[in-house]
Structure 1
Amino acid sequence: MPSKNLTPNEKKEKFESAVNYLLNQSYLKTKEANYYAALLNSIKSKLRQFNLPDDQSYDVINETYLRGIKLLDSGQEIKNPGAWIRVTSLNVIREISRKQEKEQSWDSNLIERQIAPEASNSFSSENYDDEDLRLLKLALKKLESKDYKIIVLREIQGLSWKEVVSNLASNGEVVNETCARQQGSRALKRLRQIFFELKNHHQ
Structure 2
Amino acid sequence: MGEKTLTPREKFESVVKHLVNPTSLKTNEATSYAALINGIKKNLRQFNFPDDQIDEVINETYLRGIKFLESGQEIKNPKAWTRVTSLYVIREMSREQKKEQLWDSHLIEHQKALEDSHSLSSANSEDENLKLLELALQKLEPKDYKLIVLRHIEGLSWQQVVSHLASNGEVVTESSARQRGNRALKRLRKIFFELKKHNKSTKSYD
What TM-score bracket applies, with the shorter chain setting the length?
Answer: 0.5 to 0.7
SS in 1 for 2:24: coil
Aligned length: 148
Q: Is the contact between residue 135 and residue 195 of structure 1 (CA under 8 Å) also seen in structure 2? A: no
Residues 1:200 and 2:177 are matched in the alignment: no
2:16 is equivalent to residue 16 of structure 1: no
Q: Secondary structure at the match of 2:49?
A: coil
Q: Is the 8 A contact 2:22 2:30 kept in 1?
A: yes
For 2:64 and 2:101, the matched residues in 1 are separated by 26
2 CA distance for matches of 1:59 and 1:40?
13
1:30-49 CA-to-partner distances (Å, cap 9, x unmatched) read 11110111101111111111
Higher radius of gyration, 1 or 2: 1
Q: Quote the Cα distance in structure 1 between the aligned partners of 2:181 and 2:31.
A: 43
Q: Which 5+ residue runs of structure 1 have no aligned equivalent?
A: 1-5, 121-127, 152-183
TM-score by length of structure 1 reads 0.60
Query: How far apart in 2 are the matches of 1:24 and 1:195?
Result: 28
| Aligned positions of 1:110-189 closer than 5 A | 110-113=110-113, 117=117, 132-137=133-138, 185-186=155-156
Partner SS, residue 22 of structure 2: coil
TM-score normalised by length of structure 2: 0.59
Which structure has the highest helix share of the two? Answer: 2
Give the direction of change, closer, same or farther, for the CA distance of 1:60–1:196 in structure 2 (3 Å limit): closer
- Asked if residue 81 in structure 1 is aligned to residue 78 in structure 2, the reply is yes
Report the CA distance between 1:134 and its aligned residue. Answer: 1.5
Distance 2:21 2:117 in 1: 54
Indicate the RMSD between aligned Cα atoms, in angstroms.
3.6
> What is residue 61 of structure 1 aligned with on the other side?
58
The verdict on how the C-alpha distance between 1:133 and 1:197 changes in structure 2, with shifts beyond 3 A counting, is farther
Matches of 2:116 and 2:67, distance apart in 1: 47
> Would you say the 8 A contact 2:61–2:86 is kept in 1?
yes
Q: Does residue 30 of the first structure (1) align with residue 31 of the second (2)?
A: no
